[in-house]
Amino acid sequence: MKTGHKKYNFKYIVGVDEAGRGPLAGPVSVSAIVFQSNFYKSHKNSGNSLPEGHDSKKLSEKKREEWYEKIKAMRKRGKCDFRQSFSGAKIIDKKGIVYAVNLAIARCLRRLNLNPQNTLILLDGSLKAPKIYKQRTIIGGDQREKIIALASVVAKVKRDRKMIRFAKEFPKYAFEIHKGYGTREHYRRIKKYGLSPIHRRSYLGTRH
């Protein structure tokens, strides 16, 4: 973990997290959410003003959707901003999951259009932002740092919605149920129907 950066010495604090690193199908999703550091410092322990943060994967789908709506409401009031980006199966197969995640991180931060000199990026796990940004990686960050947890909510909700849309395009695979993860039912359907265009062939031992 990079140290030496005190969070509230910066004008803006950004949380970054991903969802969908492990599935057999569909994109990986990354989200970056930004608050002014003064607002984040004064509100992060207030559940009414800032939704309480937890690892989004441990929440029910209903609870994640509720938090996502709260985050959107905060953005509408000008209290925060966020961006989300996908990297699809083709780029994952061609360049690898680390490249795909880094590409989406860079895209999110570029779209937020922040000044790297007055912004601190907080990232979950082993994630890294482009080197132009001051940053800290935090193991278990989606449980330890609220702003990362909020980013994880956005990333997860957006990816789940994307997989539900894919389920309509490729109805044989039940993506709306397992969201592309390697469940027994998913493997059964792959064996029966073969691979769809959104399957990660590199995860399944094939490039065909």
Contact 142, 35 (CB under 8 A): no
pLDDT one-digit tens code per residue, 73-124: 999 999 999 999 999 999 999 999 999 999 999 999 999 999 999 999 999 9
Domains of the chain, with CATH numbers? 7-159 (3.30.420.10)
CA angle 28, 98, 152 (to 5 degrees): 45
In the predicted model, is pLDDT for residue 128 greater than 50?
A: yes
Return all residues near 73 (Cβ < 8 A) that are at least 6 apart. Answer: none
Give the pLDDT of residue 1. Answer: 41
Could you tell me the sign of the dihedral formed by the alpha carbons of 151, 139, 199, 96, in that order?
Answer: positive
Give the pLDDT of residue 159. Answer: 98
| Pairing between β-strand 28-36 and β-strand 12-19 as defined by DSSP bridges | antiparallel
Measured CA to CA in angstroms, residue 54 lies from 39, 146, 153 at distances of 19, 7, 9
**pLDDT mean across residues, the chain:** 91
15 — phi, psi (to 5°)?
Answer: -105, 140
Give the pLDDT of residue 28. Answer: 98
132 — phi, psi (to 5°)?
Answer: -70, -15
Give the pLDDT of residue 72. Answer: 96
In the predicted model, is pLDDT for residue 47 greater than 50?
A: yes
* Start-to-end CA span in the chain (Å): 39
d(CA 197, CA 176): 16
Least confident of 62-66, 105-109, 185-189: 62-66
